[in-house]
Structure 1
């Protein structure tokens, strides 16, 4: 132990004490400081009160008081969980594939498939439709799609397109026309170009040029521009009906000015009017 006297305290300015603290400390002439504690004073990171008590650093205290809160995400809609929807879809396809071709039996099985669901399994049903479409099981596609629409589910352009294709492939043109008229009256301004193309293709497959012209009239009324395949089918319909002048006017307005040809093994883009003129 060492003795710190008045003169020795005044001679230690490097301790970091202010004049006021030196004057207070000088009152304790007989105060003893352990030798092991003297070097640690040089590394002290805390402030001292008038009585020599230490206070924690304000920054350190602030860091201790800060509580990290996890990031919260807010959504305007809640995404339905798609986990297991693929297995549900395969299970549905397996169930209805083994049933007889009777509407009541199929609908009964579909109702049983959704009996224990808290909400309608729309994702699984849509996947089942895609599977049936890939397998060309058109009657099953029609049954599942009609059942969904009857439940008020799946009223989307994709479902309508799949159902129209199934009607086309199963030779059920009358039902396709009924569905198409319902779509025209219900969705009017939101009908996609894809559906117009589907109906044009359906009427072309069944050699109904008058109906193709009707579809074209609906497209013009709703200001929907036909794609290249639809333009070709409609021009062919005008030609079948002997409306050559209208066909030329139609092609002039809607046919693309460019086309692609194969020249010396390469695909080349050329102007249609120049190439056809030659």
Structure 2
């Protein structure tokens, strides 16, 4: 509240026309539209309004203040590796499979088409090639799997245990045990200490499928030398190989050593766990 030291223009209203809830007896308006004064009993209440126009703030004295635009600086992201966009690799793989399906089973034609497939690529499309191998494997096109895998290895690409496993399976299904043996010898001499159990199991299954029992024993001997424990399916194949060769004692030894101590049988309609060998047999 402040005393009014100015001479306002008064606009009077009859008090009878005003409601009792209104507390003003007279109003005064200044020439400035932004300033409004209300006068009551010799006192006045002054309300000030500021106007904001186009980034400027106007005060009661007409002074304008310009707002500074603050630019937000984004974070600089530093990547230690280059992220390759693998989007579209599935479509590339499908295009490769469609292209191979219309080619004859000739090495020159297939390798020529594969070379054209990567001719305009800045980097070798290893992801698309691996997906194409999986598609061909699901479709049981083993001859195409062998061709694509051999072409990848000739380019120095895809020399992984997954590619070797797929190639060994394709050799097995395509009745090419000799080529599988050559590949296995290369893997054994190159990756002696890093061959996984899955690859040993694949090779033992291949030899067992082609009734090469002595080869099964040789691969199993390499497993024991490298201290790779076989799974139960592989142990049964090795035991069967010893039985076919007339070595029943070694068969029992393999089964006792590598099969689990317990087995499950059904008794009176319920699944019951029992010991595989009794204490009398162990003694």
TM-score normalised to the size of structure 1?
Answer: 0.73
Task: Report the structure, 1 or 2, having the larger strand content.
Answer: 2
Indicate if the aligned counterparts of 1:164 and 1:198 stay in contact, CA closer than 8 A.
yes
Q: Where does residue 179 of structure 1 map in the other structure?
A: 183
Q: Where does residue 211 of structure 1 map in the other structure?
A: 215
Matched, 1:258 2:240: no
Q: Where does residue 195 of structure 2 map in the other structure?
A: 191
Indicate if the aligned counterparts of 1:2 and 1:35 stay in contact, CA closer than 8 A.
no
The counterpart of 2:229, out of the listed 206, 220, 225, is 225
Q: Where does residue 132 of structure 2 map in the other structure?
A: 128
Distance 1:204 1:80 in 2: 42
1:108 positional shift = 0.6
Q: Where does residue 57 of structure 2 map in the other structure?
A: none
Matched, 1:67 2:69: no
Distance 1:236 1:207 in 2: 11
SS at match of 1:117: coil
Q: What are the superposed Cα offsets for residues 78-97 of structure 1, whole Å, 9 maximum, x if unpaired? A: 34322111111111111111
Q: Measured at CA, do residues 69 and 231 of structure 1 come closer, stay the same or move farther in structure 2, by a change above 3 Å?
A: same
Tell me the number of residue pairs that the alignment of Structure 1 and Structure 2 aligns. Answer: 231
Matched, 1:95 2:88: no
Q: Measured at CA, do residues 267 and 128 of structure 1 come closer, stay the same or move farther in structure 2, by a change above 3 Å?
A: farther
Q: Where does residue 13 of structure 2 map in the other structure?
A: none
SS at match of 1:273: coil
Q: Measured at CA, do residues 266 and 128 of structure 1 come closer, stay the same or move farther in structure 2, by a change above 3 Å?
A: farther
Matched, 1:137 2:137: no
The counterpart of 2:173, out of the listed 159, 169, 173, is 169
Task: Report the structure, 1 or 2, having the larger helix content.
Answer: 1
Q: Measured at CA, do residues 2 and 114 of structure 1 come closer, stay the same or move farther in structure 2, by a change above 3 Å?
A: same
TM-score normalised to the size of structure 2?
Answer: 0.72
Indicate if the aligned counterparts of 2:208 and 2:216 stay in contact, CA closer than 8 A.
yes
Distance 1:157 1:182 in 2: 12
Q: Where does residue 50 of structure 1 map in the other structure?
A: none
Q: Measured at CA, do residues 241 and 84 of structure 1 come closer, stay the same or move farther in structure 2, by a change above 3 Å?
A: same
List gaps (5 residues or longer) in structure 2: 7-34, 38-44, 50-62
1:38 positional shift = 5.2
Q: Where does residue 155 of structure 1 map in the other structure?
A: 159
Distance 1:276 1:112 in 2: 69
Q: Where does residue 27 of structure 2 map in the other structure?
A: none
SS at match of 2:149: helix
